[in-house]
């Protein structure tokens, strides 16, 4: 039974999960992307699928105090490429204005309403799919190399715990049993049992798209260049491959979503936090799960034939060329965590840069497009798009069906800035 035709712009993990949820609900789904599915930011991320332990977001007074020092250090986990400052100013001004304690707590509470069922949403979405084999259900470990850092981060753990996050400190002996390949540079560790991870973020995204197509969905490779709006509704996408009529439209175009929204006359204060990865092929570590290293702002994901080290935040324009020295630096920082990889260069390394879609308050946009009928937005998932995608898909499917998603979407409205 076809309920309605829904077109989704963007076949990253967010668009893929939305398409799958809508397809399951009986809608006729058309996914549109200028590139292959899963080749944007969803391609090379760290693969952690986090839940309530990720409720607290970066903007806050503590980060604000650290920023001046970071901006002077080229190797800091957060860098600004100064040449791009003028274009970044409106976003940065809103970011700085939001770095208040009360705002940080409000955002954490709002994010918890999305994060409380991230893993359950993947269980439901992937039931019966070969993609389920790409999920590890064994938690994550948060690592610290100094007691000072670990203690200094306790406020964040406490805020997350007050929102329901489960976590336990792990002694060095327990850590050696869980992950024997960790080096002595790790002095404190927390275990987050509720997290999942994927060993292949791109493969997961692509398999979800294949599942959608297998049940009648369509994928159209085309770049959306304009959108016709009539009587307050989007009616057609103008693409490089011609015009496509639309009935209901979802914008899930990651870091480019503001450009797509602008075609319908809607301004959204979206920017990109660029991040990097280095993939080390042929590096066998025996690691069982994703490791999150707060001090170095990186994550380590053991992959079937190697290892991925990913992270850092770089502010520059959307189309600025990558600076792969940052990816290389990830290897230098990540190697200290692992015994086996410390001694020598790995046999092969590949570098990647991805654009996280981020609003100044680090809340995504999920909900109706302001002032339009038959159009919804789902983007701005920042560092948590892999984690939040399946849950976002369920929420959007509820909105399209005019059902209450059971989540207060007011904190996530597009026109809050």
Ligand X SMILES: Cc1cc2nc3c(=O)[nH]c(=O)nc-3n(C[C@H](O)[C@H](O)[C@H](O)COP(=O)(O)OP(=O)(O)OC[C@H]3O[C@@H](n4cnc5c(N)ncnc54)[C@H](O)[C@@H]3O)c2cc1C
Stretch that binds ligand X, among 44-52, 106-114, 123-131, 146-154 (CB under 6 A): 44-52
From the centroid of its chain, how far is CA 260? Answer: 19
Please, which residue, 63 or 187, has the CB nearer to ligand X?
63
Q: Give how many residues touch ligand X by CB under 6 A.
A: 44
Question: Is 9 an interacting residue with respect to ligand X (CB under 6 A)?
Answer: yes
Radius of gyration of the chain measured on its C-alpha atoms: 21
Backbone angles phi, psi at 386, to 5 degrees: -65, -40
- Read off the DSSP letter of residue 364: P
- Considering only 19, 30, 41, 112, the residue that binds ligand X (CB under 6 A) is 41
CB 108 within 8 A of CB 117: no
Site string for ligand X, 359-398 (x = CB under 6 A): --------------------x-xxxxxxx-----------
Site string for ligand X, 227-266 (x = CB under 6 A): -------------------------xxxxx---x------
Question: Is 354 an interacting residue with respect to ligand X (CB under 6 A)?
Answer: yes
Of 117, 53, 204, give the one whose Cα is nearest residue 398. Answer: 117
Report d(CA 370, CA 375) in Å as an integer: 9
Report d(CA 153, CA 137) in Å as an integer: 25
Please, which residue, 60 or 77, has the CB nearer to ligand X?
77
- Considering only 23, 139, 306, 357, the residue that binds ligand X (CB under 6 A) is 357
**SS3 (DSSP) at 266:** coil
Report d(CA 318, CA 84) in Å as an integer: 10
Site string for ligand X, 301-320 (x = CB under 6 A): ---------xx---------
Residue 353, beta-bridge partner list: 276
Question: Is 156 an interacting residue with respect to ligand X (CB under 6 A)?
Answer: no
Q: Output the six-digit token pair for 248.
A: 């209901």
**SS3 (DSSP) at 70:** helix
- Considering only 22, 33, 182, 399, the residue that binds ligand X (CB under 6 A) is 33
Stretch that binds ligand X, among 20-28, 161-169, 349-357, 365-373 (CB under 6 A): 349-357
Order of strands, sheet of 196-198, starting from the edge strand that comes earlier in the sequence: 48-49, 196-198, 135-136
- Considering only 52, 227, 299, 372, the residue that binds ligand X (CB under 6 A) is 299
Residues at the site binding ligand X, with contacts judged by CB under 6 A = 9-15, 32-35, 39-42, 45-48, 223-224, 252-256, 260, 275-277, 299, 310-311, 354, 356-357, 379, 381-387
């Amino acid at each position: 039974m076809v309920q309605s035709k829904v077109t989704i712009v963007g076949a990253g993990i967010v668009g893929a999960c939305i398409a799958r949820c809508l397809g399951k609900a009986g809608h006729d789904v058309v996914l549109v992307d200028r590139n292959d599915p899963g080749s944007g930011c969803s391609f090379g991320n760290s693969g952690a699928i986090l839940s309530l332990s990720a409720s607290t977001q970066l903007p806050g007074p503590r980060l604000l105090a650290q920023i001046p020092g970071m901006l002077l250090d080229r190797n800091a986990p957060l860098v600004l490429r100064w040449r791009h400052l003028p274009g970044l100013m409106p976003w940065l001004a809103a970011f700085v204005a939001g770095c208040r304690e009360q705002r940080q707590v409000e955002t954490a509470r709002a994010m918890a309403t999305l994060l409380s069922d991230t893993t359950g949403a993947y269980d439901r979405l992937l039931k019966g799919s070969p993609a389920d084999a790409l999920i590890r259900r064994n938690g994550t470990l948060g690592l610290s190399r100094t007691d000072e850092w670990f203690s200094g981060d306790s406020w964040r753990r406490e805020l997350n715990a007050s929102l329901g996050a489960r976590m336990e400190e792990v002694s060095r002996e327990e850590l050696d049993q869980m992950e024997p390949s960790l080096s002595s540079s790790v002095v404190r560790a927390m275990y987050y049992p509720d997290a999942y991870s994927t060993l292949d973020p791109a493969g997961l995204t692509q398999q979800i798209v294949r599942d959608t197509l297998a049940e009648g969905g369509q994928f159209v490779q085309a770049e959306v260049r304009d959108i016709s709006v009539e009587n307050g509704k989007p009616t057609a996408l103008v693409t490089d491959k011609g015009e496509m009529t639309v009935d209901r439209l979802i914008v899930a175009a990651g870091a480019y979503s503001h450009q797509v929204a602008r075609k319908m006359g809607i301004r959204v204060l979206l920017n990109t936090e660029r991040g990097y990865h280095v993939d080390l092929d042929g590096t066998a570590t025996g690691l069982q799960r994703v490791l999150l290293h707060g001090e170095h702002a990186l994550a380590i994901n053991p992959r079937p034939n190697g290892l991925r080290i990913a992270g850092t935040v770089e502010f520059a324009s959307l189309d600025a060329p990558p600076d792969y020295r940052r990816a290389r630096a990830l290897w230098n920082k990540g190697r200290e965590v692992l015994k086996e990889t410390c001694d020598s260069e790995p046999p092969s390394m590949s570098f990647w840069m991805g654009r996280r879609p981020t609003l100044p308050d680090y809340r995504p946009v999920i909900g109706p497009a302001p002032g339009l009928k038959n159009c919804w937005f789902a983007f701005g998932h920042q560092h948590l798009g892999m984690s939040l995608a399946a849950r976002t898909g369920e929420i959007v499917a509820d909105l399209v069906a005019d059902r209450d998603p059971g989540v207060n979407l007011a904190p996530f409205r597009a026109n809050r800035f």
